[in-house]
A and B are shown apart, each in its own frame.
Chain A
Amino acid sequence: MTVDAQELDNIEVELFTQAMQRRHGYDFSQYAPASLKRRVLQLVEQLETRTISGLIERVMHEPQLLPRMLDGLTVPASDMFRDPSMFRGLREQVLPLLASYPQINIWQAGCAHGQEVYSLAILLEEAGLYERTQIFATDLSERALHQAQEGIYPAREAQQWSRNYQAAGGTHSLADYYSARYNLLKLDQRLRRNVTFAQHNLVSDGVFCEAHLVLCRNVMIYFSNPLQDHVLSLFRNSLVRGGFLCVGMRESLDYATTAATFTPFDERLRIYRLTHQPERQQA
């Protein structure tokens, strides 16, 4: 691999992005380039094409591959109670404030395989709020959504998840919420009773609910600054005044102008609150 070959790759990634956009309407042009390139090269390996150009041919002529490609480009990743301190913060600081609403809407954007959706449901259940909560769990990848709905995960994760749950202030045993069989564990499907799973593309789709809490963790790290800004404005338009936004523990909103409408609620936990009404933003 020389510098020339590297440049060739860059051109091909751009063409691939155009092919995805024009053939299937999925726009990855504003994804952070370094990660996107890694993922495209991984797709080349997975689909065993010789070059990225080979991938373009398959984008054009094998539409049945689209779900796999979307899955590969977005690499759904999640954990039960990932970053336990954030979940503890939700439990102790945010849920008591949400409790004042008669009906609570939560939007989990980029829910991947759904582990955080179930974590959230458990948290709400234990806070006695779940009966009046509606969770909208969305993702770009249909394959990821399907897995999220099933709620079946490898059992090897169980120990780590239990530790996370305890560290997040869990009041039961996490095992109360799943059944284990062979090497798999299945989350209690009753946890899903107030969850709506739906495909939603943060790049191109609009606001669809009035939310009191939006979780979008480790999704915007893959977006360019303008796209991050766009997505933050979606969240701003979706949230009620005083609504909460949670992003990933190492995510930075420092370069997003829209971030000015959010006030840090707990800076360390990356929990923000919508303070301004959107229309007042210019004032």
Chain B
Amino acid sequence: MTTPQAIAIGCSAGGLDALKVVLGALDPRLTQAVLVCCHSGSDTVELLCEVLQRASALPVTEAAERHPVLSGTVHLAPSGYHLLVEKDRHFALSIDPRVQYARPSIDVMFCSAAEVWHEKLIGVVLTGGNADGASGLQRIRELGGIAIVQSPSNAEISTMPQAALDTAGADHCVDLSDIAPLINRLCLP
């Protein structure tokens, strides 16, 4: 089995608490880049970065346009822009129209990450009240990546994980507290 190189996580309503749990339990030895798209109403993700940094052993930063994707680093999609990854593993932003009412959209981030990392990508869908992430997760699976979905019954809002399961299915459907241990297992030799 190939070792994953990147982890893409999407969440919406209830996502902050869920992210704290997942990022908080990721192994600090991880060398994978972690990309996070979290729908939030605010104009910046500065505060979100701060809150998550307190929970996470890995450095948490806002993904900056044209800057490289860093290993062992959590990159948050900026507010108001779609986050994409180029083949040369640099970030690109776009203000194309909203997808599934969202910008940043999880689908957009998942699809572009899938095209870069193929089977070396883990896609994770957490709690949320819409269907964003479902078709992106499907794309991740089509290109050989691994799909993890939070059990809908365990999610604060089940709509998003349920939509992901209905559209894409999953390789692993687990409770929130089991997601980070599973990622650690998949990523560490």
Contact = CB atoms under 8 A, between A and B. Distances in A.
Contact of A35 (B78, B92, B139): B92
Given A6-B115, A38-B108, A1 B142 contact: yes
B66 A2 contact: no
Given A250-B78, A252-B66, A221 B142 contact: no
A263 interface: no
Contact of B96 (A1, A39, A251, A255): A39
Interface string A85-114: 000000000000000000000000000000
Contacts of B93: 221, 250-251
A222 interface: yes
A254 B85 CA distance: 17
Contacts of A254: 64, 66-67
A203 interface: no
B86 interface: yes
Given A33-B87, A35-B96, A38-B108, A1 B139 contact: yes
Nearest to A248: B95
Nearest to A228: B66
Interface in B54-89: 64-67, 78, 80-81, 84-87
B112 interface: yes
Contact of B143 (A2, A32, A75, A221): A2
Given A252-B66, A255-B66, A222 B94 contact: yes
A32 B96 contact: no
B118 interface: yes
A32 B78 CA distance: 18
B169 interface: no
B97 interface: yes
A221 B112 contact: no
A39 B93 CA distance: 14
B129 interface: no
A283 interface: no
Interface residues of A, number: 22
Contact of B95 (A1, A38, A221, A252): A221
A149 interface: no
Contacts of A252: 64-67
A251 B144 CA distance: 32
A251 B65 contact: yes
A203 B86 CA distance: 21
A207 interface: no
A225 B67 CA distance: 11
Nearest to B81: A250
A33 B85 CA distance: 9
Nearest to A254: B66
A160 to B, nearest CB: 13
A263 B51 CA distance: 33
A2 B114 CA distance: 11
Contact of A32 (B86, B115, B118): B86
Nearest to A225: B66
Interface in A19-58: 32-35, 38-39
A218 interface: yes
B81 to A, nearest CB: 6
Contacts of A75: 96-97
Interface string A61-89: 00000000000000101000000000000
30 contacts: A1-B142, A3-B144, A32-B84, A33-B87, A34-B84, A34-B92, A35-B84, A35-B92, A38-B84, A38-B108, A38-B112, A39-B96, A75-B96, A75-B97, A77-B96, A77-B97, A221-B65, A221-B81, A221-B93, A221-B94, A221-B95, A250-B64, A250-B81, A250-B93, A251-B93, A252-B66, A252-B67, A254-B64, A254-B67, A255-B66
The list of the 5 closest CB pairs from A to B, nearest first, reads: A34-B84, A252-B65, A1-B142, A35-B94, A32-B92
